[in-house]
Amino acid sequence: MSDIIVSIQNLEKTYKTESESLTILKNLNLDIEKGKKITIVGESGSGKSTFLNIIGGLDNATGGLVKCGEYELSHLDENRLSLYRSHFLGLIFQFHYLLKDFTALENTFLPALMAGLSKKEAVEKAKELLCDVGLEKRLDHLPGQLSGGERQRVAVARSLINDPTLILADEPTGNLDPQNAKMIGELLFSVVDKYRKTLLLVTHDMNLAKKGDICYTIKNACLEKVEVQETA
């Protein structure tokens, strides 16, 4: 039985206007094995976030095949796409996207409630995850009462609430100061290991990229494997 949980073949993404077309991704191929931590670096505008958005079902490919688990993304209707996002994926973005009128605990358990878990189970699971990220004393705090690093810790906990197979993280430390960025990076890899998740992470932070099993860059619209040197 194959351990490949993400299979991407000849992926292409082209943006077209009346006067021109711009190919961001071309003949891009990638297989990701279960439990691997893959990082992607590259210049701004190289297509890293577009690539992640296609895998996340937030953008559509122009051509090629993207299969994640049992889901072939080009063939998903809205119901299946919603199921894919809520059960197969955990998403972490540069901005936390916490609901400002809900506590850290509520922000964490709401996706589980929406996915059909009972409130009691959802709350208990959320408390456990928030303890894992060091926020056991901040459960009842609103996002406005949390620091930037704490808000992103809530986002990490929330990404795990529905026991996803794949975590997609797009510049999760990009809005943080160096100290918090290092802390969130270490935390993310720690909880991914603890819960045996597969991680695909886009980052500008070379120290964070180095934590992955394999690092790629997007160059000339294609993926290339790179050796990442730690920066000072």
Cα-atom radius of gyration of the chain, to the nearest Å? Answer: 18
Instruction: Tell me the C-alpha distance between 183 and 152, whole Å.
Output: 10
Q: 3-state DSSP: the chain helix, strand, coil percent, rounded to 5?
A: 35, 30, 35
Instruction: Tell me the C-alpha distance between 10 and 96, whole Å.
Output: 32
- State the pLDDT at residue 174: 83
- State the pLDDT at residue 1: 46
Instruction: Tell me the pTM.
Output: 0.90
- State the pLDDT at residue 2: 62
- State the pLDDT at residue 107: 96
- State the pLDDT at residue 18: 82
- Series of mean pLDDT values for 10-residue runs along the chain (232 residues): 86 88 90 94 84 91 92 89 91 89 96 92 96 94 94 94 94 86 91 94 90 90 79 54
Instruction: Tell me the C-alpha distance between 119 and 128, whole Å.
Output: 14
- State the pLDDT at residue 19: 84
Strand extents, DSSP E, 184-221: 198-202, 214-219
- State the pLDDT at residue 31: 94
